[in-house]
Amino acid sequence: DQQVKQNSPSLSVQEGRISILNCDYTNSMFDYFLWYKKYPAEGPTFLISISSIKDKNEDGRFTVFLNKSAKHLSLHIVPSQPGDSAVYFCAASRGGADGLTFGKGTHLIIQP
């Protein structure tokens, strides 16, 4: 059973507009959430994270929002740029040694 769900396999956004990527989780033991970005033929790279004690974290153009009661988080990218075109993975951690649980990813395409 998928514990981290990204229900949109792809998303197309015009350059300069806001991109919103969504993620839902089912395991209430998750206490840390991360977004990774992946280009073709490369490994995922860390983008931004949020602890369960916060509801928002910003880093430049990237903001992650966490709604614990809804078990939902979202990544906002403003403004979207062509270099943002990539697959974005939502991931969650229980704080244990067994790494991260990943969603299936959302392919973001920024249209010129």
Partner 1 sequence: NAGVTQTPKFRILKIGQSMTLQCAQDMNHNYMYWYRQDPGMGLKLIYYSVGAGITDKGEVPNGYNVSRSTTEDFPLRLELAAPSQTSVYFCASSYGVAGGDTGELFFGEGSRLTVL
* Interacting residues with partner 1 (CB under 8 A): 4, 6, 9, 31-34, 36, 41-46, 49, 51, 89, 92-105
Q: Facing residues of 15 across strands?
A: none
Q: Which is nearer to partner 1, 18 or 46 (CB)?
A: 46
Least Å distance, CB 82 to partner 1, is 22
Nearer to partner 1, 31 or 79 (CB): 31
Give how far Cα 73 sits from Cα of 16, 54, 66, 98, Å. Answer: 22, 11, 4, 22
Structure tokens at 110: 């920024």
Other CB atoms within 10 A of residue 74 CB: 16
Which two three-digit tokens encode residue 58?
């910003």
Shortest distance (Å) from residue 58 CB to partner 1: 17
Provide, rounded to whole angstroms, the least separation between the CB of residue 6 and partner 1: 8
